[in-house]
Chain A
Amino acid sequence: MRLSLLLFLTTVTTLLTMISSSSIARTSAGHREHTRRPIVTGTSVLGLKYKGGVMLAADTLASYGSMAKYKNARRLVEVDKVLLGAGGEYSDFQAIQDLLKANALEEECMSGLHDRHRSNARETWNYLRAVMYNRRNKMNPLWNDLVVAGRDAEGKTFLGWVDKIGTTFEEDMIATGFGSYLAIPLLRERYRDDLDEGEARALLEDCMRILFYRDCRALNRIQIAKVSEDT
């Protein structure tokens, strides 16, 4: 009778743990991976189209929970003539950069320096959509909100968003994280088709100032990147 009681209790506990544990995703190599919460995180990224170009802004902070741990982190990056900005888990952003660089290198090796296919911002944006959506389906997302900026195949300026579940859209002004609440109203109020570069930068800096005031995870040191007429 003691034995049956013990057996019953062990089956009950194993059933409970099986039900309560999150679904287990596996990598292609068969290693188990679970969804994780982000540990080292970046906050908002802002993007704005202006006359003849597109500009991104982000602060240089990677937070460790509530601690402002890494104050010199680059959250805006250029990979193969495409600007990429990310909020969210910093290591996942680095993984995305590595992925894009590896693709560019492979293309260079396969097709040669002159004849290789040069990717544009819209193509990168589409590719990242596929990457992010695929990871989301495996319940193991790359925990980032991405902003992609540059030029598309016809040479027109491009600004688009890809988030951690694979949602995409393109717009004249984009903001992630806290920026989507605090900066978007400001950008919408002051946006014009014919903003020149100085005005666009001033507008982005004003938005970054508001974010520094009101976002606990913001820093007052920012990075600005642009794709302008001569690139």
Chain B
Amino acid sequence: HNVPMLRLLLPFVLSVALCCCPSVRATKPGEISLGTTLVAACFKGGVVVGADTRTSAGAYVTNRYATKIASIVENDAGEGGGVVICRSGSAADTQFLADRAKWELRERSYRLGVLQDRPPVGQVARLLRSLMLEESQDMVASLICAGYNSEKGCGELYSISQTGSLIHEDAGYTAGGSGSSYILGFLDREYKANMSEEEAVDFVTTAVQLAMARDGSSGGVVRLVILAADRQEERMVITPSPSKASSSQREARGTVATSKSLPGFANPLHRTKG
């Protein structure tokens, strides 16, 4: 006669048990967060990575010129290649992951010798994933790991989610962060395999600019890093709107700095350069 009792209690027990299950931590209110837009795309002979530069604490922009692309493996000048990660989630957690991964890889290169100076992208991605899994209960971090694979002669992309799923993006492009939702359709439609470097730069820049236009947590300028066989290059794009817009559209979307005369209003006296 105990069995019917258990059946009665089961729904209550289950709901209590589910509440006790550990879950992924959400960003605390006011925690510095990289609500962000990250885009990476492979082109013929390398990979272009782009990110916005806004760091926010709630609705306040704490840093409008942040660096979200961290270099994990830097090769000597003129050697190209290298691995970078794009950080999204909690600023503190992702900075920690980047520093820790760099340290681990350097330590490994001391132990294993010069050959491991250039770890392949996949190895770096898996290392990051294992670091994340150690602390995933308390960490809010999601990364894109991008680099140039000298063996295959092309770029390689990995996404690592908050809970530690590692995904090799063999489609050739990926996006991350809060702004990525707005541009996934654009990326799906506009990506072409084996683009030239300039096309890829334009593709990534436009994607980040479009996301910044709609995502409140993304903004600032577009930072780019280009990893190719022979070089690592950093660039920055300041104009807020995609280059394909006509000049009149660009003017209309310009910043407040260019004061226009409004009908019925006296001209503002104070003019600053755009």
Contacts and interface: CB of A to CB of B under 8 A. Distances in A.
Interface of A: 2, 5-6, 9, 63, 65-69, 178, 196-199, 201-203, 205-206, 208-209, 212-217, 220-222, 224, 226
B60 A216 contact: yes
Given A68-B215, A198-B267, A202-B268, A215 B5 contact: no
Size bracket, chain B contacts: 20 to 34
B270 interface: yes
Interface of B: 4-5, 8, 12, 35, 54, 56, 58-61, 64, 178, 182, 213-217, 219, 240, 253-257, 259, 262, 265-270
A215 B62 CA distance: 9
A45 to B, nearest CB: 15
28 contacts: A2-B4, A5-B5, A6-B8, A9-B12, A63-B216, A66-B178, A66-B216, A66-B217, A67-B214, A178-B59, A196-B266, A198-B266, A198-B268, A199-B268, A201-B268, A202-B270, A205-B270, A206-B270, A209-B256, A209-B257, A212-B256, A213-B61, A216-B54, A216-B60, A216-B61, A216-B217, A216-B219, A217-B59
A202 B269 contact: yes
Contacts of A221: 253
Contacts of B270: 199, 202-203, 205-206
A221 B178 CA distance: 23
B269 A2 contact: no
Nearest to A43: B59
A214 B215 contact: no
Given A2-B4, A205-B256, A222-B256, 18 more contacts: A2-B5, A5-B8, A9-B8, A66-B216, A66-B217, A67-B182, A178-B59, A201-B259, A201-B266, A203-B270, A208-B256, A209-B256, A214-B64, A216-B60, A216-B61, A217-B216, A220-B240, A226-B265
